[in-house]
Structures are given as C-alpha cells and as structure tokens.
Amino acid sequence: MKSSYLYPPEWVKQSGTLLIFPKESSDWGCCFRDVEEKFLSFIKSIAKYQKVYLISDREFHIDNVEVISGVETDDTWARDSLGLTIFKDKKRYLLNYQFNGWGGKFDATFDNQITKNLAEHGFFDKSRVIELPYIVEGGAIETNGDTLLVTESSTLNSNRNQESSESRSEIEKSFKEYLGVERVIWLKESYLKGDDTDGHIDMLARFANRETILYSLDSVGNELKERLPEMRFVQLPSPSFGDFPATYLNFIFVNGAILVPVYGLDSDKEAIQIFRDTFPDRDIVEVDSSIFIQQGGSLHCLTMQLYDR
C-alpha cells in the first residue's frame, strides 16, 4: 500500500529556498571574498523567482531575502545537513535523517543540529520534526514522486550505514514510508572524479519530470537505461574542470526557472541549450559555479527547497 507521506519532486511549486551563508572561518577562508561575491549573486538570482531564507549572523538587505540568525553551522552545504519537507494529510512535516560530514570526512557537529535549531527558533514546527537514525544526505536521493534514485556507494557506505542486507532493507523501508515512493533504484555506478560525497546522485542523474532523467556519464546512463527502460533519457556534457567534480546536473528548480551551474568552459553553451530544449516553459539562468565547485559542490548542494500548503 502506498504511503500517506509524500516528498514532492522539486519541480512542484515551492514556497522558498533555504541557504547557509559561507563563513570566513570555514574552508571558504581560502577564497572568501570571491565566494562571497558569487554567493550573493546566486542569492539574488533565486530571489527574482521566490523567497530566500538565509541562515547567517550577518545582516543583508536584499529584496525577497529573510535572514535567520542565531543558528550555528559548520559549513555551507544546506542540501545535506537540512531536513526534507514532506507532507501527510496536507500537513507539513520535516524529515530529519542524520548527517555525519559525508562519512566523517568533516566536522558536522553543528550541521547535524540545524533542523532542530530552526525548529527551536520557530522556523519549523518542532512537533512535526520526524527524526530517523539513518545517515542519509539530501543530495543522495532523487525522486519523481514514485521512483527514488540513490547510490549504494553513498548511503550504504560503511562510513555512514552498515553495508548489510538489513541496513539496505531498513533504509529502503524508510524511503517508501516517509518519501512516498513505490520503488527504490540502488545504483552501483557512481564514480565522479574529486567527489567527497562517495557518489551523490545529484551529481550524476536528475529527474527533469516524471518520465525524463538527465545524466552525463555513460556508465551511469547505461545502468539507468537498463534498470528503467520506460524512462526517457537526455545526456548532458561532462565538464572538465581540473580535479574538481564539475557537473551540470547540480542545477536547481525554482518557480518559473532552472538555475544551472556553469564553469567558463566551452561545454557550457551546449549544456545550456539542452536545458532550454528540456525545459521550454522555464527561464534558464546561468550561475557561475567555478568557485563553488572548488569546495566540491555546486547549486543543488548549496540549497534546500521549501514547500508550504
């Protein structure tokens, strides 16, 4: 029987986008002035389309941006540290999996508490925060509402959850119960050079709509086509940007637009045209992500979409 909970696909109308502003004392200290400029430009691009909620102890005066202060953070990657908005009987809940800094690679003491702290600040209803014991990052899952894509190398990694049939079945059960999907596709192909996440799906394959999957690497596309032959597939180019895990798949949906990471490469033009062809009813907005990717992520990694019914 299908679950009564639902994690909406990202193309569903959103109520806003939540981000964490970089701190100079973090890993961004290497290039803070540059990332500050690019991050502010990114925020303004989102704010043209929908409300932005920004976790920061700094003051910003930007139209359509609300600052949330007093919430301690370790890093900037909101996608992986924040809870997921889910719904049951038209009521909003926050599903909070655990976060351990991508398998203990980085300190996540504060980041693992952000959703709880936001609830304490009244941003979320703390009576509707659902805590689960499994370590699952938001960038590790991709849904069209019925089918969930996830990689074995990330979520079943021994640095997060035990590599056992029991762990797989328990985590999959939580996906079906709380995300409202009917099937979970565990991908084996997941290697992307320079990726600290152990193979997050949001760097490898994304749903454009219920029937269409975007991908770039042949290995990932071939496995998906074999596992999901009923789907339509669109291949994006694979950008080469030093030893960093650059990808065009780390785009975000906002109301009326798609914001696409670009890197100042010749392949950017081809990728943007594919997005225009794939999403003819949305604006396609290029966002310079050449500084973001140097810390291992991009637009989707930096954001978490919000919904309100």
- Assigned fold of 5-306: L-arginine/glycine Amidinotransferase; Chain A (3.75.10)
Q: pLDDT class for 14, splitting at 50, 70, 90?
A: very high
Domain boundaries, the chain: 5-306
Best CA proximity match to 196, nearest among 304, 125, 294, 275: 294
pLDDT tens for residues 71-119? 999 999 999 999 999 999 999 999 999 999 999 999 999 999 999 999 9
pLDDT tens for residues 118-167? 999 999 999 999 999 999 999 999 999 999 999 999 999 999 987 676 78
What average pLDDT does range 195-202 have in this prediction? 96
Q: How far apart are CA 7 and CA 5, in angstroms?
A: 7
* pLDDT score at 167: 87
Percent of the chain with pLDDT strictly greater than 90: 92
Residue 85 CA: distances (Å) to CA of 31, 32, 73 = 32, 31, 20
